[in-house]
Structure formats: structure tokens, C-alpha cells
Chains A and B, each alone.
Chain A
Amino acid sequence: MSSGLARKKARAAWWFLTPALVLLALFFVLPVAAGLLLSLTDFDIYAVGDPSVARFVGLKNYAHLLSDGTFWRAVGNTLQFVLIGGPLSLAVSLAAALLLNEKAVRLRGLLRTVYFAPVVTTLVSVAIVWRYLYHPRYGLLNFLLGQIGVDPIDWLGDPNWAMPAIILLAVWKNFGYNMLILLAGLQVIPRELYEAASIDGAGPWRRFRHITLPGLAPTFLFVSVTTMIGYFQVFAEPYVMTQGGPLGATRSLVLFMYEEGFRWWRMGMASAVAVLLLVITLIGTLIQLRLDRREA
């Protein structure tokens, strides 16, 4: 290739990239960087009116948060959502993918569509639907449980049940997405491997253990990291279903950030929450990658 053509291509590349890069720089990179700075100020409702009154306060917001019970409660709630909801959702996705991947399955396309349907629904809408399903007296869920002799549960009114209720909704809403990706991962495992193992006398469990699991591992790592990152950002479910209650049992980090920033206009403090969310997410991702490397 002539160097003239190479130069021409390189110049064109920047023209093609400019719109995307400018938009990302202006509306993503700049705000994230500004968020770091904002978290070091006492930007509050007065500064919303006149930004010049905001002062640099160093790490004071962080010190305040780390000694604030409400913040730690939100961290705990979010971790509960991530550490219970995430694996539960992955388990359901994996089970659905494995079952759908069975050779004998009929109407596979239809079943796949049905399982995937909740993913494309509007989160606010289905959170409202589930709010009624969880109604202690008239809700369908308690009615069905009553049929098998379970006493009514005050799903969204009992601090012990509210987060599990939100997790259940999230699993129902999301499992179809990872199911599809895992299904794609299963389909790239060569069929001959299974056939060869069968000839060698490996039973279903050993085939699963020694062929399916290792073959699926890269895909599984990918979905577990993306799921975890997504689950850290839980917001609409508690906003719509419980407003963070009862007794703060479902106030997630992002909901806490939203309230600090857009209800009380403590934007410096809210930015510190956002930065800590980033830090926690990064730590979570690193732990997961490390765990995976050790297993591999």
C-alpha cells in the first residue's frame, strides 16, 4: 500500500471518528472527570443557584459518607442485590440455556422468545405490575402461595422481604438476556467433543463437568462481569416499588445518590457517592477477574 493512501485513510478515519469522539468527550468523559472534582466541593442548593459559592472541601464529603449509617445501609442493600440477585439471575439463565440447548426440545424458538420477552419490557411498567402482584391481600403471588398453605407475606412492607422481592422481580426481568448469550456460548462448543466423550464412556454429568463447563467458561465470565456491573446500578426498581423503604431496606447506592443530588441538591455529596460506586464496581470486577484466573 502506498503511503499516500495510508495517509488519506488515516485522515479520513479522524473525520469519521470526530462526531462520536466529540460526543463522548463532551457528554461522558468531561462529566465523569467533573464528577470527581465536584465530589471534592460542598456544591449544594445555593451553588445550584450560583455556582461561584461552591467551595473546595477536600475529602470531607467522603469522610462524612464513611461515617454515615444511611450510606453504609445503601452499600449493604446494593451488595445484597448484587451478591444474591446476580448469582441467582445467572443460575436461572444457565439453567434455561442448558434446557433450551437440549437436542430434543420442540418449539425452541417460541420458548426462547417467551423467556426473553421480559428483557424488552419497560422496567418502570413491570415494577408497577409486580408491585400489585406483591400486594399482601389481593396480590396474585400471595394467593398462589396461599393455595399451597403459605401464610400471606407483606412483600414490600416488611424490611426483611422487600429486598428479596425486588431481587425476584430483577431475576424475572433479566434472566433472558444472559440466557441468550450463554446459549450462543453453548452452541460454539463442538458437538464432536460430546460424541467422542460418549464413545469413551463419559456419562451426562462428566460430559457436563469436563466439556460444557470449561467450554462455557469465557462466556460465563463475560456475563457475570457485565451482570454484576449492571446490578450495582439498581435504581428504578426501588424507586418505583418502595421509594427505598421500608425503613431504608431497599435504598440502593444509586437511589441514595439520586436523593442526595436531585432531591436535596447536595451535588457535591451525591458525586462522592457516585465516585464510591465506581470504586466499588472496579473492586468487584477485579475480584471476579482474579477469581476466574485462579480457577483457570
Chain B
Amino acid sequence: MMRFRPRSALLHLVLFVGALVTLLPLGWMVAAAFMQPGEANSLPPHLVPADPTLEHFRALFTRLDFLRNLANSAIVTTLATLLSVLVNSMAGYAFAKLPFPGRERLFKSLAAALVVPAQVGMLPLFLLLRELGLVNTYAGVLVPYLASIFGIFLIRQYALSVPDELLDAARIEGAGEFAVFRLVALPVIKPILVTMAAFTFLSAWNDFMWPLIVLSDSSMYTLPVALANLVGEHVQDTELMMAGSLLTILPALVVFLIFQRIYVQGIMSGGVKG
């Protein structure tokens, strides 16, 4: 038997009540998504559906073409993840392992650019993409996600730990610089690439403002844009909106739970090293 310690009991009480409060909004969303129409507006509020139904999910996929939006989100997010990992890992590796004149200065100016809010460039970017015929296309949504200063930093930080001897050994055996990168450096920095991929996936999946601006056709909308659009017409259909919200959150939550350890480590190391 454990000895009862008041201090420890109080600590755990606070922590678990906190966890409950944190989960309550999400728990209610899940419950309401399966309720009969109108049940989410009962008093006292229900926390469990009295007679669970899949009706709202059916409505989303048949009547409201949510499958299309789900596909849009999946395509955009997958492409963004793959391309950004490629582009940023090459740049991060160069900053860490390939000295060239002016490297520190270039790195510092990128760091300074981090304080510039993305919104400052959004209006001209929209006009530019319109000229290029990329408004209302997947490419138009993708473009701002591809090169990420933050991603380059993250990868550079990690790539610094790749031993130079390892790279030089490959060079002595006659490997070209790209082969050195692909065959020697990439396997060593793989953990950070997975982190980077999880980061990009989640931010691209959840992003709202840019897709809202660049997509004009509801058949091109990603899930968050479709959902924000839906709430305008269906604000009274609480249960339907909760089903849509759940559907939008679920893939992000699943990806997070799968890559949790790696993702959390990425945030923790990125923050402390600053």
C-alpha cells in the first residue's frame, strides 16, 4: 500500500481536473456528432447520445460532397509534406555542412525574416498567383508551404551533428556531393525529417487563411474552408456541424498520435536551442 500524501493527492487532483477540462470540448464534439437532430440543444445538455446515429456523416458525404473536400485536403497536405521535406532538408544540410562565403550572413537574414508576418505578403502573392493562373488550383495552395525558414533551421540544427569524417570518407571514395547527401547524411538526419514531415502535415492540414483566399470554387475547398463555409448555411444543425468538425480534426489527431514522440521532441528541442 502506498502512503497517502496530501501534497501529491492535491497535485494529481489539479492535473486530472485540468485534463478533464481540456478534453471536455472535444468530448462534447464527438458525442454531439452522433446525436439525433436537435439533441445537442437539450437542457440539461447531453454528454452521451441517447440514440446514436451516423446520419450526419452520411449527409456530409452524400448531400454535401465532403469526400471531395477530404480528397482536396489529403492531396494538398501530402504534396506539401513531401516537397517541403525535400526542399528544406537540402537547404538545412547546406547550412550545416557545406561552408561557403557569406553563409552566416545569409543564415542571419533568414532568421530576421521570421518576425515578418506571412500576411504582409499575402495580397501581392494572391495577385502574383493570379497572373500565373494558379488561383483556385492545388499548386496555388501549396506554394507558401514549400520552403519554410523554420524548417530549414530545425534541420540545420540537427544536421550539425552529422560527423564530417563520415561525409569526407564518402567523398574520398569518389561520391559526388548529392550522393554524399542522399546516402550518408539523409539516413543520419532521418529522425528530424520525420519531425519536419509531421509538422508540415499538421500545419498544412489545419491551415485556413491562405486556402480561404486562394480557393474560390467550393469543389476545390480544403476541409477547414468547406467547414467554415458550411457553418454559414447550417449553423442551426449543431449535430451536422459537429460531425464535420470531428471529420476535419480526426486525421490530424491520428497523425499526431502516431508520430507523437518524434513531434513532441521536435518542439522541445527547437524551442530550447532557440
Q: Does B166 contact A (CB under 8 A)?
A: no
Given A38-B124, A125-B245 in contact, is the A116-B115 Cβ separation under 8 Å?
A: no
B272 touches A120 (CB 8 A): no
Q: A247 near B: Cβ within 8 Å?
A: no
Complex interface: chain A residues within 8 A of B29 (CB): 125-126, 129
Question: Is A52 on the interface with B (CB-CB < 8 A)?
Answer: no
**One of A96, A140, A275 near B120 (C-beta < 8 A):** A275
Min distance, Cβ A26 to any Cβ of chain B, angstroms: 8
Let me know if A271 and B91 touch, CB within 8 A: no
CB of B271 within 8 A of CB of A181, answer yes
B249 pairs with A100, CB closer than 8 A: no
| B253 (CB) vs chain A CBs: closest residue | A120
The answer for the CA separation of A233 and B208 in the assembled complex, in Å, is 13
B124 touches A105 (CB 8 A): no
Q: Is A124's beta carbon under 8 Å from chain B?
A: yes
Asked if B252 and A121 sit within 8 Å, CB to CB, the answer is yes
Contact residues of B between 153 and 186, Cβ < 8 Å to A: 171, 177-178, 181
Q: B257: which A residues are within 8 A, CB to CB?
A: 113
Cβ contact of A17, chosen from B90, B113, B121, B260, cutoff 8 A: B90
A interface SS class: helix
Report chain A residues within 8 Å CB of B16: 111
B22 touches A115 (CB 8 A): yes
B119 at the interface (CB under 8 A from A): yes
Which A residue's beta carbon lies closest to that of B246?
A125
Provide the bound-state CA to CA distance between A116 and B267, in Å: 11
A83 within 8 A of B: no
Give the size category of A's interface with B.
Answer: 35 or more
A66 in contact (CB, < 8 A)? no
* Other-chain residue from A20, A115, A118 in contact with B147 (beta carbon distance below 8 A): A20
Residue with the greatest number of chain B CB neighbours at <10 A, chosen from A128, A138, A257, A281: A128
Residues of chain A within 8 A of B126, CB atoms compared: 261-262
Other-chain contact of A122, B43, B118, B238, B249 (Cβ < 8 Å): B249
Contact in complex: B264, A9 (CB < 8 Å): no
Are A120 and B202 in contact (CB-based, < 8 A)? yes
* Distance to closest chain B CB from A58 (angstroms): 19
Point out the residues of chain A lying under 8 angstroms from B252, CB to CB.
120-122
Name the residue among B29, B120, B144, B242 with the largest chain A CB count within 10 angstroms: B120
Question: Which of A's residues lie within 8 Å of B, judged by CB?
Answer: 5-6, 8-10, 12-17, 19-21, 23-24, 27-32, 34-35, 38, 48, 51, 96, 99-100, 102, 104-106, 111-118, 120-126, 128-133, 135, 137-138, 140, 143, 172, 177, 180-181, 183-185, 188, 218-219, 222-223, 229, 232-233, 235-236, 239-240, 254, 257-258, 261-262, 267, 270-271, 274-275, 277-278, 281-282, 285
22 A-B contact pairs sorted by A residue (CB < 8 Å) = A9-B98, A17-B94, A19-B86, A23-B87, A27-B146, A31-B120, A31-B121, A38-B123, A99-B15, A104-B7, A113-B257, A121-B253, A123-B224, A129-B25, A132-B40, A137-B43, A172-B25, A219-B274, A222-B274, A229-B117, A262-B126, A271-B124
Known A-B contacts: A143-B43, A277-B117. Give 9 more (CB < 8 A): A20-B88, A23-B143, A31-B123, A122-B245, A123-B208, A132-B238, A138-B45, A180-B271, A261-B122
